[in-house]
Amino acid sequence: MKLNVWKVAFAALLFVSLQSCGGDDPTPTPPKTPEQIATEALTGTGAQTWGIAGGGRVTRRGNNVTDLYSTFELILNSGSSKTYTTRNSNDLFDANGNWAFAGTNFDKITLTGTKPAAAREMSFTQTGTNLKLVFSIPAPGARINGQFAIAGDYVFDLIKK
Protein backbone atom coordinates (compact mmCIF):
# COMPACT_ATOMS: atom_id res chain seq x y z
CA MET A 1 0.00 0.00 0.00
CA LYS A 2 2.81 2.38 0.90
CA LEU A 3 4.45 1.62 -2.42
CA ASN A 4 1.29 2.57 -4.35
CA VAL A 5 1.05 5.93 -2.55
CA TRP A 6 4.63 6.71 -3.52
CA LYS A 7 3.97 5.67 -7.12
CA VAL A 8 0.90 7.92 -7.30
CA ALA A 9 2.79 10.84 -5.71
CA PHE A 10 5.71 10.36 -8.10
CA ALA A 11 3.38 10.14 -11.11
CA ALA A 12 1.57 13.33 -10.02
CA LEU A 13 4.87 15.17 -9.55
CA LEU A 14 6.08 14.00 -12.95
CA PHE A 15 2.81 15.08 -14.58
CA VAL A 16 2.97 18.56 -13.02
CA SER A 17 6.63 18.95 -14.00
CA LEU A 18 5.96 18.02 -17.61
CA GLN A 19 3.03 20.44 -17.81
CA SER A 20 5.26 23.36 -16.84
CA CYS A 21 7.82 22.57 -19.53
CA GLY A 22 7.57 24.06 -22.99
CA GLY A 23 4.82 26.37 -24.06
CA ASP A 24 5.08 29.93 -25.28
CA ASP A 25 8.05 31.93 -24.14
CA PRO A 26 7.34 35.60 -23.48
CA THR A 27 8.42 37.82 -26.33
CA PRO A 28 11.65 39.56 -25.35
CA THR A 29 11.74 43.34 -25.48
CA PRO A 30 13.70 44.37 -28.56
CA PRO A 31 16.88 46.34 -27.84
CA LYS A 32 16.64 50.12 -28.16
CA THR A 33 18.14 51.79 -31.19
CA PRO A 34 20.98 54.31 -30.78
CA GLU A 35 18.51 57.08 -31.65
CA GLN A 36 16.08 55.93 -28.94
CA ILE A 37 18.88 55.83 -26.37
CA ALA A 38 20.08 59.32 -27.32
CA THR A 39 16.52 60.72 -27.31
CA GLU A 40 15.90 59.32 -23.82
CA ALA A 41 19.19 60.85 -22.62
CA LEU A 42 17.87 64.28 -23.67
CA THR A 43 14.15 64.00 -22.97
CA GLY A 44 13.68 61.21 -20.45
CA THR A 45 10.44 59.43 -21.25
CA GLY A 46 8.74 62.41 -22.88
CA ALA A 47 9.97 65.85 -21.83
CA GLN A 48 12.90 67.01 -19.77
CA THR A 49 13.81 70.43 -18.39
CA TRP A 50 17.49 71.32 -18.08
CA GLY A 51 18.70 74.51 -16.42
CA ILE A 52 21.60 76.47 -14.97
CA ALA A 53 20.10 77.02 -11.49
CA GLY A 54 21.29 74.53 -8.91
CA GLY A 55 24.89 74.14 -10.05
CA GLY A 56 25.00 74.71 -13.80
CA ARG A 57 27.55 76.86 -15.57
CA VAL A 58 28.12 78.62 -18.90
CA THR A 59 31.45 79.52 -20.46
CA ARG A 60 32.22 81.47 -23.64
CA ARG A 61 35.78 81.40 -24.96
CA GLY A 62 36.74 79.77 -21.66
CA ASN A 63 35.40 82.68 -19.59
CA ASN A 64 32.63 82.16 -17.06
CA VAL A 65 29.47 83.94 -18.26
CA THR A 66 27.01 82.08 -16.05
CA ASP A 67 25.68 85.39 -14.69
CA LEU A 68 24.24 86.17 -18.15
CA TYR A 69 22.30 82.88 -18.21
CA SER A 70 21.72 82.15 -14.51
CA THR A 71 17.99 81.42 -14.99
CA PHE A 72 18.30 79.76 -18.42
CA GLU A 73 16.19 76.65 -19.01
CA LEU A 74 15.96 74.32 -21.98
CA ILE A 75 12.96 72.00 -22.25
CA LEU A 76 13.33 69.18 -24.76
CA ASN A 77 10.35 67.09 -25.86
CA SER A 78 10.52 63.75 -27.62
CA GLY A 79 7.92 62.48 -30.02
CA SER A 80 7.64 62.76 -33.76
CA SER A 81 8.04 66.57 -33.82
CA LYS A 82 10.88 66.88 -31.24
CA THR A 83 10.10 70.36 -29.95
CA TYR A 84 12.04 72.59 -27.59
CA THR A 85 11.34 75.63 -25.43
CA THR A 86 13.86 77.97 -23.81
CA ARG A 87 13.49 80.47 -21.01
CA ASN A 88 15.77 83.37 -20.14
CA SER A 89 18.27 82.73 -22.94
CA ASN A 90 19.44 86.34 -23.20
CA ASP A 91 18.54 86.24 -26.93
CA LEU A 92 21.05 83.48 -27.65
CA PHE A 93 18.35 80.85 -28.31
CA ASP A 94 14.88 81.13 -29.83
CA ALA A 95 11.97 80.82 -27.40
CA ASN A 96 10.80 77.61 -29.08
CA GLY A 97 11.14 75.47 -32.15
CA ASN A 98 12.16 71.98 -33.16
CA TRP A 99 15.32 70.04 -32.49
CA ALA A 100 16.93 67.23 -34.47
CA PHE A 101 19.97 65.03 -34.35
CA ALA A 102 22.86 66.19 -36.52
CA GLY A 103 24.44 63.28 -38.35
CA THR A 104 24.08 59.61 -37.60
CA ASN A 105 26.12 59.28 -34.39
CA PHE A 106 23.32 60.76 -32.24
CA ASP A 107 25.77 62.84 -30.20
CA LYS A 108 24.91 66.24 -31.70
CA ILE A 109 21.69 68.21 -32.04
CA THR A 110 20.57 71.32 -33.89
CA LEU A 111 17.78 73.73 -32.96
CA THR A 112 15.57 75.55 -35.44
CA GLY A 113 15.11 79.29 -35.28
CA THR A 114 16.70 82.62 -36.16
CA LYS A 115 18.70 83.48 -33.02
CA PRO A 116 22.50 83.01 -32.99
CA ALA A 117 22.42 79.46 -31.53
CA ALA A 118 19.94 78.24 -34.16
CA ALA A 119 21.21 75.74 -36.74
CA ARG A 120 24.53 75.28 -34.88
CA GLU A 121 25.68 71.73 -34.28
CA MET A 122 25.69 71.22 -30.52
CA SER A 123 27.64 68.29 -29.15
CA PHE A 124 25.98 66.88 -26.08
CA THR A 125 26.99 64.60 -23.26
CA GLN A 126 24.44 63.45 -20.70
CA THR A 127 25.72 61.91 -17.48
CA GLY A 128 23.31 61.28 -14.62
CA THR A 129 21.60 64.60 -13.89
CA ASN A 130 23.98 66.68 -16.03
CA LEU A 131 23.80 67.70 -19.68
CA LYS A 132 26.73 69.40 -21.40
CA LEU A 133 26.11 71.30 -24.64
CA VAL A 134 29.15 72.47 -26.62
CA PHE A 135 28.80 74.68 -29.70
CA SER A 136 30.38 77.60 -31.56
CA ILE A 137 28.96 80.81 -32.95
CA PRO A 138 31.16 82.35 -35.65
CA ALA A 139 31.80 86.10 -35.85
CA PRO A 140 29.57 86.96 -38.84
CA GLY A 141 26.06 87.46 -37.55
CA ALA A 142 27.12 87.18 -33.92
CA ARG A 143 25.61 90.46 -32.76
CA ILE A 144 22.24 90.99 -31.18
CA ASN A 145 20.61 94.29 -32.15
CA GLY A 146 23.99 95.39 -33.49
CA GLN A 147 25.42 95.77 -29.98
CA PHE A 148 26.28 92.64 -28.04
CA ALA A 149 28.99 90.48 -29.63
CA ILE A 150 28.33 86.84 -28.80
CA ALA A 151 30.77 85.03 -31.07
CA GLY A 152 32.74 82.26 -29.46
CA ASP A 153 32.86 78.69 -28.25
CA TYR A 154 30.15 77.96 -25.69
CA VAL A 155 29.84 75.26 -23.05
CA PHE A 156 26.51 74.99 -21.24
CA ASP A 157 26.64 72.66 -18.22
CA LEU A 158 22.97 72.11 -17.42
CA ILE A 159 21.28 70.39 -14.49
CA LYS A 160 18.20 68.17 -14.74
CA LYS A 161 15.15 69.83 -13.17
Per-domain residue ranges of the chain:
34-160
Residue 23 clears pLDDT 60, i.e. is over it: no
Percent residues over pLDDT 70 in the chain: 78
The pLDDT score that the predictor gives to residue 27 is: 86
- Structural contact between residues 158 and 130, judged by C-beta atoms closer than 8 angstroms: yes
Average pLDDT over every residue of 52-81: 96
Virtual torsion, Cα 147, 67, 72, 39, nearest 10 deg: 100
Residue 6: which pLDDT band, with cuts at 50, 70 and 90? low
